[in-house]
Amino acid sequence: MSKSVVFEVDVMFGDCDPAGIVFFPNFSKWMDASSLNFFMQCGVPPWRELVKTSGIIGTPLLEIHTKFMQPATYGERLQIHTCIVEWRDKVFIHEHRVQRGSDLLCEGRETRAFCIRHPQHPERMKAIAIPEHIKALCQ
Amino acid sequence: MSKSVVFEVDVMFGDCDPAGIVFFPNFSKWMDASSLNFFMQCGVPPWRELVKTSGIIGTPLLEIHTKFMQPATYGERLQIHTCIVEWRDKVFIHEHRVQRGSDLLCEGRETRAFCIRHPQHPERMKAIAIPEHIKALCQ
Amino acid sequence: MSKSVVFEVDVMFGDCDPAGIVFFPNFSKWMDASSLNFFMQCGVPPWRELVKTSGIIGTPLLEIHTKFMQPATYGERLQIHTCIVEWRDKVFIHEHRVQRGSDLLCEGRETRAFCIRHPQHPERMKAIAIPEHIKALCQ
Amino acid sequence: MSKSVVFEVDVMFGDCDPAGIVFFPNFSKWMDASSLNFFMQCGVPPWRELVKTSGIIGTPLLEIHTKFMQPATYGERLQIHTCIVEWRDKVFIHEHRVQRGSDLLCEGRETRAFCIRHPQHPERMKAIAIPEHIKALCQ
ipTM associated with this complex: 0.94
Cα–Cα nearest to D69, from D35, D94, D103, D95: D103
Nearest to C63 among D18, D60, D68 (CB): D68
pLDDT confidence of residue B47: 86
Residues 6+ positions from A104 with CB-CB distance below 8 Å: A69, A70, A97, A98
* CB of D75 less than 8 A from some CB of B: yes
Cα separation, D100 vs A65, in Å, equals: 37
Q: How far is CA B43 from CA B38, B40, B46, B85, D131, in A?
A: 9, 5, 9, 19, 51
Q: What digits encode the pLDDT tens for the residues D18-55?
A: 999 999 999 999 999 999 999 999 999 988 889 899 99
Does residue A13 belong to the interface with chain D, where contact is any CB pair within 8 Å? yes
**Contact call for C12 and A33, based on CB within 8 A:** yes
C122–chain D nearest CA distance, Å: 12
Chains that touch B (3 or more CB pairs under 8 A): A, C, D
Q: Is C27 in a helix, a strand, or coil?
A: helix
What is the predicted pLDDT for the residue at C96?
A: 98
CB B96 within 8 A of CB B125: no
Asked if B18 and C20 come within 8 Å (Cβ–Cβ), the reply is: yes
Mutate to test the interface with B, among D11, D12, D34 (most CBs of B within 10 A): D12
Locate the chain B residue with the closest alpha carbon to C26: B14
Tell me what percent of the residues of chain D surpass a pLDDT of 70.
99
Find chain D residues with C-beta within 8 A of C18's C-beta.
Answer: 47-48
Helix (H) or strand (E) holding D133: helix D132-137
Q: Per the CB < 8 Å rule, is A14 touching C20? A: no
- Residues of A with Cβ-Cβ distance to C36 under 8 angstroms: 12-13, 74-75
**What pLDDT sits at residue C73?**
95
**Which among A44, A31, A4, A35 is positioned nearest to A132, based on CA atoms?**
A44
HSE of D92, CA atoms in CB hemisphere, 13 A: 23
- The helix/strand/coil state of A19 is coil
The C-alpha torsion from C43 through C45 and C47 to C49, rounded to 10°, is -170
The 3-state DSSP class for residue B73 equals coil
Task: Check if B13 contacts D (Cβ < 8 Å).
Answer: yes
CB-based contacts of A73: which residues, under 8 Å, 6+ apart? A11, A16, A20, A21, A22, C48, D18
Look at residue A85 in the predicted model and tell me its pLDDT: 97
Distance from CA of C82 to the nearest CA of D (A): 18
- Tell which of C48, C49, C59 to mutate to test the A interface (max A CBs under 10 Å): C48
Q: How many CB pairs below 8 Å do chains B and C form together?
A: 26
Rounded to a whole number, what is the largest CA-CA distance in chain A? 49
| Tens-digit pLDDT string for chain A (139 aa) | 789 999 999 999 999 999 999 999 999 999 999 999 999 999 999 888 998 999 998 999 999 999 999 999 999 999 999 999 999 999 999 999 999 999 999 999 999 999 998 888 877 889 999 999 999 999 9
Q: What is the pLDDT of residues B90-132, one digit of tens each?
A: 999 999 999 999 999 999 999 999 999 888 887 788 999 999 9
- Express each pLDDT in D71-130 by its tens digit: 999 999 999 999 999 999 999 999 999 999 999 999 999 999 999 988 888 778 899 999
CB contact under 8 A, B60 and A19: yes
Model pLDDT, residue C118: 87
Q: Which residues of chain C have pLDDT under 50?
A: none
Contacts of B27 in chain C (CB under 8 A): none
Q: Is the separation of the CB atoms in B35 and D12 below 8 Å?
A: no
Report the Cα D59 to chain-centroid distance in Å: 9
Residue C25's SS3 state is: helix
Instruction: List, in order, residues 6 or more apart from A132 with CB less than 8 Å away.
Output: none
Active-site residue, from C17, C32, C89, C103: C17
- Quick one: which H or E segment has residue A135? helix A132-137
User: C58 to chain D, minimum CA–CA distance in Å?
Assistant: 8
Query: Using the beta-carbon criterion (under 8 Å), do B14 and D20 form an inter-chain contact?
Result: no
Catalytic one of D17, D32, D89, D103:
D17
- Could D40 and B75 be called an inter-chain contact, meaning their C-beta atoms sit closer than 8 Å? yes
Give the list of residues 6+ apart from residue C117 with CB closer than 8 angstroms, or none: C55, C57, C124, C125, C126
Catalytic residue among A17, A32, A89, A103: A17
**Between A13, A14, A36, which is nearest C13 by CB?**
A36
Using CA coordinates, name the residue in chain C closest to B20: C18
Cβ proximity of A99 and A81 under 8 Å: yes
Backbone angles phi, psi at B39, to 5 degrees: -65, -40
- Chain D residue with minimum CA distance to B39: D75
The per-residue pLDDT for range B41-86, each reduced to its tens digit, is 999 998 889 989 999 989 999 999 999 999 999 999 999 999 999 9
Is B28 within 8 Å of A32 when comparing Cβ atoms?
Answer: no
Residue B38 binned pLDDT confidence (cut-offs 50, 70, 90): very high
C65 CB neighbours in chain D (<8 A) are 63-66
Partner A contacted by B103 (CB < 8 A)? no
Residue of A nearest to B69 (CA): A62
Annotated catalytic residues of B are: 17
Residue of B nearest to D46 (CA): B75
Give the span between the Cα atoms of D93 and D110, in whole angstroms.
Answer: 6
Classified by CATH at the fold level, domain C4-137 comes out as Thiol Ester Dehydrase; Chain A (3.10.129)
Identify all chain B residues contacting D46, using CB atoms and an 8 Å cutoff: 74-75
> Mutate which of D64, D67, D93 to disrupt the C interface (most C C-beta within 10 Å)?
D64
Q: Which residue of B has its CA nearest to C15?
A: B17
pLDDT for res A91: 97
Q: Are the beta carbons of D36 and B74 separated by less than 8 Å?
A: yes
